[in-house]
Structure 1
């Protein structure tokens, strides 16, 4: 490997002092334009690379913000990251992104890497197996701001950006009941995650509000991937009487369930009405289009990043972990997959 070019090499080449070269490279106002251009041309010709890391150490700022997500191949998380990237770029920050792959051990390793990389702040959506947050203590102790989004820890004073998942699931379940469904299956992810635990609460409350019994056998837990539709539908069909409504906690799995139903010539929504979650592109690409909860991923990313960047600005001395959780609005989008009865509120999309 060739030796790195330093300001001393440039100084020797152009016949100036290292101090003058350093000032020229940092656009110091005391350096004449002619001298600055001479230094820049020499630096470019010699292949000089600025040592940003060393410069950032002196400034005690890396201009990097860490982001840890459960999976990068999630349409929802991709949308969130796009919103974060927009705000970060506007504020002059770079994103350092990693995925936990739903593993606590991987999340702990990612957190250590982010801390050792001296990120200025950290945004986290927790892994499915995370049940404690001790691995974030080094950030808290150094007062490096940490903000959680979507999947947030419960009852520990941490800042989070979420939607009201209980209310969203209640609205979706109520819609299915209003369409005539009486046996509604609910497909969920790991109930250790606040998102799914809260949706289960909303589902239960809606049944209770309409005098319908809660049956544990109508709760189906899986990883909500595109391969699980066959398993979900087979599980439903093995029951007698079978479900006549289906609430699925993401649109990828909902679309997979729709394909499995169509394969068996089961009519949607006439025989089984279907509602998904997230308003992902796939919900609008299948036939019938899937009713879904519009979960504002891009906006969530914007709000989370804006909150963190604002905190990193001058004059912010309060501890971010003690500020309030931010709850964003969600909305039920009614489409053909669940619409049995025409009303004045037909399709809202």
Structure 2
């Protein structure tokens, strides 16, 4: 079976020395075929990169005019903004989107990748789940020449095309802003440091402290998930510290909102006692009281650039092998939650 050639059920049947009808029934999970035979067929199909033909049109054109969009969660303004950007560009170019949602699960991400591969998408735009450590499920796309672009959460030290913000710079600027507000004991509430976005923000936080002769304290680092409970737990943990931190940089606005609400319940004032900076500039940032200082994360622009880059490659206008990293501009948005220094 030649590399790059689209594998058919005839190839599978020939390799296994069984009938085409048996292969077809097995792939349709027909109970007529024994489990042992099915297992052999599925293992070979996986090994050689066979894709179920969901669209007859792809037999004629080798194109489905569809793009896969894999996201780790859909319940944030950022994720929805990226999707809006991707959808806008894809629609203008005449492509449909197939959306797959991993719910922060590696296993679900693997299943989604297989499903999109089988649906013969012309390209894939993906952001990695919380606990993704292996990346073998993306190899099948590369081997078939299907372009993949990663955004936001991407594989570190990879040769893939990625669309990101400068998370290190953002982490540095958020922390530096708190230092400029006379904060000397700054905590950092973040998530899985195995993911590029959180690792880079943490590096920025540490380097800003170092550059301003402030010491990083392990007691002031809290690593959890991005839930409301994480924000509540972090606030209770921080409020019990002696001495109390005077600033906190939180890697997610939703967590920051839960954090501020819980501090208020503990009779700790923001920003007077603890100044807070979040991340993403979600809608909640200007709805809570005080308004949340945060990093603006331009999701729509990120989606548009990822989709445009992918479609240009599919059309042969550009080559992804010549584009490694696209960095989107982002900036600190200052609101009341971090302003310890009162302006006259």
Please tell me the TM-score bracket, short chain as reference: 0.7 to 0.9
Equivalent residues of 1:69, 1:126 under 8 A apart: yes
Deviation of 1:314 (Å): 3.9
Give the structure 2 partner of residue 222 of structure 1.
Answer: 224
User: Structure 2 vs 1, CA of residues 315 and 196 (structure 1 numbering), >3 Å: closer, same or farther?
Assistant: closer
Equivalent residues of 2:192, 2:224 under 8 A apart: yes
Give the structure 2 partner of residue 237 of structure 1.
Answer: 239
Give the structure 2 partner of residue 83 of structure 1.
Answer: 85
Q: Paired residues, what number?
A: 292
Give the structure 2 partner of residue 276 of structure 1.
Answer: 278
Equivalent residues of 2:105, 2:131 under 8 A apart: yes
**2:310 paired with 1:334:** no
Deviations 1:203-240 (A, max 9, x none): 00000000000111111111121232220111112211
Give the structure 2 partner of residue 252 of structure 1.
Answer: 254
**2:216 paired with 1:202:** no
Deviation of 1:77 (Å): 0.7
Q: Which consecutive aligned stretches of 4+ in structure 1 deviate over 3 angstroms post-superposition?
A: none
Distance 2:270 2:82 in 1: 31
Equivalent residues of 1:146, 1:321 under 8 A apart: no
SS of 1:122 mapped into structure 2: strand
Distance 1:57 1:196 in 2: 43
Q: TM-score, normalised by structure 2?
A: 0.82
Once the two structures are superposed, the pairs formed by residues 46-85 of structure 1 within 5 Å of their partners are 53-85=55-87
Distance 2:85 2:237 in 1: 37
Give the structure 2 partner of residue 323 of structure 1.
Answer: 323
Distance 1:321 1:225 in 2: 37
Once the two structures are superposed, the pairs formed by residues 130-169 of structure 1 within 5 Å of their partners are 130-169=132-171
Among residues 105, 124, 129, which one is paired with 2:107 in the alignment?
105
Distance 2:116 2:124 in 1: 8
SS of 2:56 mapped into structure 1: helix
SS of 1:186 mapped into structure 2: strand
Give the structure 2 partner of residue 3 of structure 1.
Answer: none
Equivalent residues of 1:251, 1:292 under 8 A apart: yes
SS of 1:246 mapped into structure 2: strand
Equivalent residues of 1:184, 1:244 under 8 A apart: yes
Deviation of 1:76 (Å): 1.1
- For structure 1, which segment, 199-208 or 123-132, has the greater mean C-alpha deviation from structure 2 after superposition? 123-132
**What runs of 5+ residues in structure 2 fail to find an aligned partner?**
1-53
Distance 2:231 2:194 in 1: 22
SS of 2:249 mapped into structure 1: strand
Deviation of 1:343 (Å): 5.8
Distance 1:237 1:281 in 2: 26
Deviation of 1:321 (Å): 4.7
Deviation of 1:270 (Å): 0.5
Distance 1:321 1:115 in 2: 20
Distance 1:339 1:153 in 2: 36
Give the structure 2 partner of residue 191 of structure 1.
Answer: 193
Distance 2:325 2:314 in 1: 18
Deviation of 1:73 (Å): 1.4
Give the structure 2 partner of residue 213 of structure 1.
Answer: 215
Equivalent residues of 1:158, 1:322 under 8 A apart: no
Deviations 1:275-299 (A, max 9, x none): 0000000001011100000011111
Distance 2:242 2:336 in 1: 26
Q: CA RMSD in A?
A: 1.6
Deviation of 1:322 (Å): 5.1
